[in-house]
A and B are shown apart, each in its own frame.
Chain A
Amino acid sequence: MDKQVSETMTDFLLNNQNVSTAPKAGERLSQTLREGLGQRDVKIGCDAGDCGACTVLLDGAPVCACLTPTQQAAGRHIETLAGLAGQDADALRLAESFQNHGAAQCGICTPGMMVSAVALLRQTPEPSSEQVQDALGGVLCRCTGYRKIIDAVVCSHAEQPVATSNGEVGAPIRRLDGANKVNGTETFGDDVAPRDALVVQIIRSPFARASFTFGDTEQWQAQTSGVEAVLTSADVPGKNLFGVIPAFVDQPVFAERETRFRGEAVAAVILHPDVVQAFDTTGFPIEWTELPSAGTVAEAKAAQAPQLHAGRDGNLMCGGFVKQGNAEQALASADVCVEGRFQTGFVEHAYIEPEAGYAEVVNGRVEVHACTQAPVMDLEALEIILGMDRRNIRIVPTGVGGGFGSKLDISVQPYLALAALKTGKPVRITYSRTESMQSTTKRHPSDIQLKIGATRDGRITGFDFSGDFNTGAYASWGPTVSNRVPVHASGPYRIPHYQAEARAIHTHNPPSGAFRGFGVPQSAIAQESLFDELADKLGIDRLEFRLRNALQDNTPTVCGQVFEQGVGIKACLEALRPAWDSERKAVAAFNAVNPVHKRGVGIAAGWYGCGNTSLPNPSTIKAGVRFDGTIVLHQGAMDIGQGANTVITQIFATALGVPVQQIQLVGADTDVTPDAGKTSASRQTFVSGNAARLAGDALRGDILAKVNASQTADLKFAGEMIEVNDGASSHWINLSSLSQCDEGYVFCAQETYDPPTKPLDVNGQGVPYAQFGYTAQLVVVEVDMALGTVTPIKFVAAHDVGKAINPMLVEGQVEGGIAQGLGMALMEEYIPGRTENLHDYLIPTIGDIPPIETLIIEVPDAHGPYGAKGLGEHVLIPTAPALLNAIKDATGARLTEVPATPARVRAAIKDLRHGN
């Protein structure tokens, strides 16, 4: 039989243009469109129809291009976002509406969303929310929480307001980088490689733990057509090692003798692009021997357990500890105590963009273009792996299609750099969805024991927390999680006698790392659940109980830190009071007449320290004015969809005193942008925002000094002239007459901000953070008592952000964080080998997120720029416990393990009825 995959000419209409292409038999339309026809606005998230990012219109009907054989397009019309965005009236209105509503965050799902919406709008010009949900149900979004997408589609027929704001701090302007996200021109990790770039594919362990030996890879390469090179650990010129915490660097680029998790890389093959589709990695010469593994913390702690790393006895990587007063004694003498055990599983970040990028060698320097949350950390990792001077490495971040913590760690970067250096040619790599899920970091599974005691009048006296966190095979951000958890496990409450210990335990699983909240969402489930139990036992209203114990200005935290200002938790809790009262009444009325469906109201609170814990955490921002009056902002704070490009610019523009529209952004590129630190720990608005404010102030100061104007003077940039209006007097600065620096600036400023913190002592006492942000959320759920299904009805979310730099982006963070918290609470669990795709690993769809009312609370913080506090991670901390508390309120059943799947909820309801 002829095993050659043949190509047949296929003609179709693509965005109203005739095209002729020669796809291989059975080629996916997504592949043909992106690689054959350059239509890279069609995004690939899963290659299995599970995410809808690749949605195109086939004769007007939305289909997944990844599931469509290209030959089926023959003689038909294919429309993609880039084609629609230029000419289709529905798409043009939708593009405006998406931007005005903040419906695109990272933008990776936006093409799929908009193309699906255009198909709907052609049939139904003024759709209802329900119609939008049905039409867009096949497209997953991990950033927005969907509500703004629904609003944008519902409102797209209405006239779009013309924005007039200068974008000063506090203005809800649309994203400054939003236009490319809605017209299909934004480029993500897989969108930047030249079409003839070599393709890297990684050989991965099929077992959680295995030893392996290579066969004759040279011979295999010689005998296999299209293989340019093979990479193994022997090809790593520097150290075959990386990690994010210097004291815990432990992960190899390629495993050397033994693999420690399913999906770990052992080798890479570099292929010519034309052989990739027909290439079968199973032919690679390697022999595997599966070895006994420790899949769970219990197995890893057992006496005979295989030890993952030398010097980490009992597979204990590290621990964190905070102690104040005497918890044991306080609990013994408390009037009332509650205790419980709470468990959570692995949670996958599930950004819709799998890791991807390309690299090439330019004048002896290696340049890596990839999606990342931390370009300078990537550079520092490559410096060690490549054994190269950092001046010879350049990181150029692409658009990032979601990160949520996982893209802080390197993934594709070393393979790209090694392959480019080995071959001297441009190389690219794109993880499949399964590779992405198998090999990148996860949220730590947790197993928590907690006991809390209080006085009869509802004052917490003692708190004893002990948690095991499954940190997987390598350290990643596990040390950060084990440090952060004991500092935060109290929640935003005054607890005089406190003890909290967290342990990070290695297992043969993917490394657990950073995921929005660094372990705090897990500990909050235990703490906020038991707060409800304690309030109920005391007969005190659950909201009142929290208010009674809430931190205030001048009360010490469990680390002994005393904030004289800026403590906003009471304001958040009080903001929920009206909804708490009205929703509880409504729920009681509903339950009185509904025997099968029961509703409940849940609340929970949270706090989160912004920036690194007791460690230096600087950001640097540079800005300059060119002789032609262009104001350039070198903005290195990675925008991964959250809006740093907009927020940092708003802060800078406000400090400088000009409209945001006049500022030209230079993106994060390690050659031209100073280090603004990683996008992590909810630090960019706070830390990089402060650096931007300082840079704006400095630039303004230099300009004013030129004409001896006062601080209150007004600046007007007009071409080569700056007009400085200072009260009655006006001055003009002719920029073209000033001398330029090497970078072509006539004025230039670079400023650094590092939040003031102090080390923690052996008992975790000290100043871990310069500021915390605070939150309290309320949720109403409906539980089907017979089936155990939980349907959230609405959220009310109060967030103290100090000062909302951009209220629309604040809402976007709140809604998106709630969606992730809801997923963790109700449906998400990553199980290696079983839920390695997006149809077995479920994240919320557009039909799963109810309306969310965001209450923005502004208790200014003295350290924050214009009073602002961080927000990103705070949001999902209270969501899961609020949902569990609402389920308890509705059913009487306390779920102590997430996800609260229908089967678990139903079992808990049945246990209750059987008196267990």
Chain B
Amino acid sequence: MQYFAPTALNEALDLMASEDLNIIAGGTDAFPARGQTPLQKGLLDITRIDGLSGLEWTSTGLRIGAATSWSEIARADLPTCFAALQAAARDVGSVQIQNSGTIAGNICNASPAADGMPPLLTLGAEVELAGPSEIRQMPLQDFVTGPRRTQLRPGELVTAITIPALPPHTRSAFEKLGSRKYLVISITMVAVVIGCDGEGRIDFARVAVGACSPVAKRLIGLEADLIGQMPQQVVITPDHLSPLSPISDIRADADYRLDVVSEQITRAIHKAALPNG
């Protein structure tokens, strides 16, 4: 079993085609998952591949390389609709984890409590995948199918997360709830992107919730109901939360999760929409 750190994507794809390899990037999930057990497969380190790191504006929007670290995302100069993603970047684990952990790693690890998921869902993110025969693209919400499950095929790797341009007046906010300040797995989290018209009424709304379902979820019904409302008058109903299916675990019970999520959504909408929210 070998450790490969290719610098070209083709080289990486060739290696994956010829050997059964695990992908490693920041190592922040790979090592804890392996624990003290011996290595089972060779490793493909994607962090040195040209074009896989960094943020880049394209004609259609923002392209974030798969191996881009959370620190790079937090430091980048981005429009206001990315505030939630950048807040999430600063909430991932700790400085150490943010310096190593990557955006694609966060998604491919497919934890129900992945901090990156709610903000990326609200941004309409798509996943770019490179395989032996094709490069394909799919919405993030389709890519992650369940806890620890994705649509990644054998021989395929994520090359980038792409985010289509959003209306310039949109702003976003992120709310994370945990039992301590740093290094904490979310009990629940909420990301919103909100735009308001000249009268202050909501004319653009995206809301996503993490750690309340097997995969973080957009609340499409709520998003539709928000249009035309004044942010400070928003009321979240149980119906709006019906797509969620939280579990009870060591961090909190299911009822609590639903209870606080509606408060977090309200706060996030205020934070995003109101000057002093």
State whether A787 touches B45 (Cβ < 8 A).
no
Chain B: residues with Cβ within 8 Å of the partner, total of 48
Residue pair A847, B252 in contact (C-beta under 8 Å): no
Instruction: With A8-B3, A69-B43 as known contacts, state yes or no: A137 contacts B256, CB within 8 Å.
Output: no
Task: Tell which of B26-34, B126-134, B140-148, B166-174 binds the partner.
Answer: B26-34
Find out whether the CB atom of B43 lies under 8 angstroms from the CB atom of A137. no
Q: Assess A69 versus B3: contact at CB under 8 Å? Given A839-B183, A844-B180, A848-B180.
A: yes
User: Are A902 and B177 neighbours in the complex by a CB distance under 8 Å?
Assistant: yes
Chain A residues in 8 Å Cβ range of B187: 902-903
Q: Which residues of B contact A72 (CB under 8 A)?
A: 5, 27, 45, 47
Given A2-B1, A845-B183, CB of A906 within 8 Å of CB of B27: no
B213 touches A (CB below 8 Å): no
Roughly how many angstroms separate A670 CA and B250 CA in the complex, as a whole number?
A: 44
User: Which of chain B's residues 1-52 have a Cβ closer than 8 Å to chain A?
Assistant: 1-3, 5, 19-20, 24, 26-28, 31-32, 34-39, 42-43, 45, 47
User: Does residue B58 face the partner (Cβ distance < 8 Å to A)?
Assistant: no
CB distance from A501 to the nearest CB of B (A): 32
Q: Verify A64–B96 contact, CB threshold 8 A.
A: yes
Of the residues B26, B28, B182, contact of A846 by C-beta under 8 Å: B182
Measured CB to CB, the closest approach of chain B to A38, in angstroms, equals 22
Q: Which of A8, A69, A277, A788 contacts B38 (CB 8 A)?
A: A277
Contact with B along A30-63 (1 / 0, CB 8 A): 0000000000000000011110100100100111
Interface pick from A360-368, A456-464, A568-576, A826-834: A826-834
Distance between B185 CB and nearest chain A CB, rounded to angstroms:
6
* A residues near B47, Cβ cutoff 8 Å: 72
Q: Using Cβ atoms and an 8 Å threshold, which residues of chain A touch B99?
A: 58, 61-63
Q: Is the CB of A138 within 8 A of B95?
A: yes
Q: Does A553 contact B (CB under 8 A)?
A: no
Given contacts A49-B28, A68-B100, A902-B177, whether A787 and B260 have CB atoms under 8 Å apart is yes
Chain A residue with the shortest CB-CB distance to B34: A26
- A interface footprint on B160-201 (CB within 8 Å = 1, 0 otherwise): 000000000000000001011111110100000000000000
Which residue of chain B has its CB nearest to the CB of A30? B31
B124 CB within 8 Å of chain A: no
Residues of B within 8 A of A68 (CB): 27, 100
**In the complex, what residues of A have CB within 8 A of residue B24's CB?**
26, 69
**B95 near A137 (CB under 8 angstroms)?**
yes
Asked if B97 CB lies within 8 Å of chain A CBs, one says yes
- Please name all residues of chain B whose beta carbon is closer than 8 Å to the beta carbon of A69 when the two chains form the complex: 3, 24, 27, 43, 45
Known: A69-B3, A835-B250. Contact between A64 and B97, CB under 8 A?
yes
Chain B's closest residue to A784 (CB) is B263
Partner of B256, one of A4, A71, A434, A903: A903
- A116 with B95: CB separation less than 8 A: yes
Bound CA–CA A605/B187 (angstroms):
33
Scoring A residues 122 to 143 as 1 if CB is less than 8 Å from chain B, else 0, what string do you get?
Answer: 0000000000011101111000
Does A74 sit within 8 A of B, measured CB to CB? yes
CB nearest neighbor in A for B256: A903
Nearest chain A residue, comparing its CB with the CB of B90? A134
Complex CA gap A815/B251 in Å reads 26
A63 in contact with B100 (CB, 8 Å): yes
Q: Are B5 and A71 within 8 A (Cβ)?
A: yes
Q: Would you call B53 an interface residue if the criterion is a C-beta within 8 Å of the partner chain's C-beta atoms?
A: no
Interface residue? B71 (CB, 8 A): yes
In whole angstroms, how far apart are the Cα atoms of A195 and B5 in the complex?
29
Please, which residues of chain A bring their CB within 8 A of the CB of B256?
788, 902-903, 906-907
With A and B bound together, what is the CA distance between A6 and B26 in angstroms? 21
B225 located at the interface, meaning its Cβ lies under 8 Å from any Cβ of chain A in the complex: no
Cα(A615)–Cα(B118), bound, Å:
60
Chain A residues closer than 8 Å to B100, beta-carbon distance: 63-64, 67-68
Q: Is B54 an interface residue (CB 8 A)?
A: no
- Say whether A25 contacts B180, CB under 8 Å: no
Q: Which residues of A427-454 are within 8 A (CB) of B?
A: 432, 434
Nearest-CB residue, chain A, relative to B99: A61
Residue numbers in B under 8 Å from A67 (CB-CB):
26-28, 31-32, 96-97, 100
Q: Is the CB of A25 within 8 A of B1?
A: yes
Q: Which label, helix, strand, loop or mixed, suits the secondary structure of the B interface?
A: loop
Of all chain A residues, the one with the shortest Cβ separation from B260 is A787
Contacts of A831 in B (CB 8 A): 250
Interface: B253 (CB within 8 A) = yes
Which of B35, B39, B94, B260 is within 8 Å of A434, CB to CB? Answer: B35
Question: Quick check: B26 and A845 within 8 Å, CB to CB?
Answer: no
* A5 near B39: Cβ-Cβ < 8 Å: yes
Which chain A residues (1-29) contact chain B, with CB distance < 8 Å?
Answer: 1-6, 8, 24-26, 28
Contact B185 A839, beta carbon cutoff 8 Å: yes
The distance from the CB of B27 to the nearest CB of chain A, in whole angstroms, is 4
CB pair A827–B180 under 8 Å, yes or no, is yes
CB of A185 within 8 Å of the partner chain:
no
User: Is B139 on the interface with A (CB-CB < 8 A)?
Assistant: no
The answer to whether the Cβ of B56 comes within 8 Å of any Cβ in the partner chain is: no
- Inter-chain CA distance A63–B70, complex, in Å, is 12
A313 at the interface (CB under 8 A from B): no
For residue B93, which residues in chain A have a CB less than 8 angstroms away from its CB? 49, 138
Q: Which residues of A contact B177 (CB under 8 A)?
A: 787, 789, 902
* C-alpha gap A384/B38 in the complex (Å): 36
**Could you say which residues of chain B place their CB within 8 Å of the CB of A47?**
31-32, 35-36
CA distance A842 to B179 in the complex (A): 8
Of all chain B residues, the one with the shortest Cβ separation from A785 is B263
Q: Is the CB of A25 within 8 A of B37?
A: no
Contact of B96 among A134, A138, A834, A906 (CB under 8 A): A138
Report A-chain residues with C-beta under 8 Å of the C-beta of B34.
Answer: 26
Interface residue from A61, A138, A434, A902 paired with B183 (Cβ < 8 Å):
A138
Q: Which of B48-89 contact A (CB under 8 A)?
A: 71
Contacts of A137 in B (CB 8 A): 94-95, 181-183
Chain A residue nearest to B43 in the complex (CB):
A26
Write the nearest CB–CB distance from A830 to chain B, whole angstroms: 10
Q: How far is the CB of B30 from chain A (nearest CB, A)?
A: 8
Output the least CB separation between A721 and chain B (Å).
55
A630 located at the interface, meaning its Cβ lies under 8 Å from any Cβ of chain B in the complex = no
Contact partners of B42 in chain A: CB under 8 A: 25
Residues of B within 8 A of A62 (CB): 95-96, 99
Question: Are A4 and B1 in contact (CB-based, < 8 A)?
Answer: yes
Give 1 or 0 for each of A891-916: 1 = CB within 8 Å of chain B CB: 00000000001110011001000000
Q: Given A67-B100, A847-B180, A49–B43 Cβ distance below 8 Å?
A: no
A28 x B179 contact (CB < 8 A): no
A69-B43, A847-B182, A903-B252 are contacts. A49–B97 as well, Cβ < 8 Å? Answer: yes
CA distance A788 to B2 in the complex (A): 49
- Expressed in whole angstroms, the Cα–Cα distance for A844 and B184 within the complex equals 10
Using a CB-CB cutoff of 8 Å, which residues 860-916 of chain A contact chain B?
901-903, 906-907, 910
Contacts of B184 in A (CB 8 A): 842, 845
Q: Which residues of chain B are within 8 angstroms of A845 by Cβ–Cβ distance?
A: 180-184
Chain B residues with CB under 8 A of A788: 256, 260
A536 adjacent to chain B (CB < 8 Å): no
B221–chain A nearest beta-carbon distance, Å = 22
Q: Are B31 and A49 in contact (CB under 8 A)?
A: yes
Closest A-B pairs by Cβ, 10 of them: A138-B94, A847-B181, A137-B182, A25-B3, A903-B256, A903-B252, A48-B32, A845-B182, A786-B263, A67-B27
> What are 18 A-B pairs at a CB distance below 8 A?
A8-B3, A25-B2, A25-B42, A26-B1, A26-B24, A48-B35, A49-B97, A55-B96, A63-B99, A63-B100, A67-B32, A72-B47, A74-B5, A138-B93, A140-B183, A432-B35, A839-B183, A848-B180
- Additional 19 contacts, C-beta under 8 A, given A25-B2, A137-B183: A1-B20, A5-B1, A5-B38, A24-B39, A55-B96, A61-B99, A62-B99, A67-B96, A71-B3, A134-B95, A139-B94, A277-B38, A280-B37, A432-B35, A827-B180, A840-B185, A901-B251, A902-B187, A907-B256
Residues of B within 8 A of A (CB): 1-3, 5, 19-20, 24, 26-28, 31-32, 34-39, 42-43, 45, 47, 71, 93-97, 99-100, 177, 179-185, 187, 250-253, 256, 259-260, 263-264
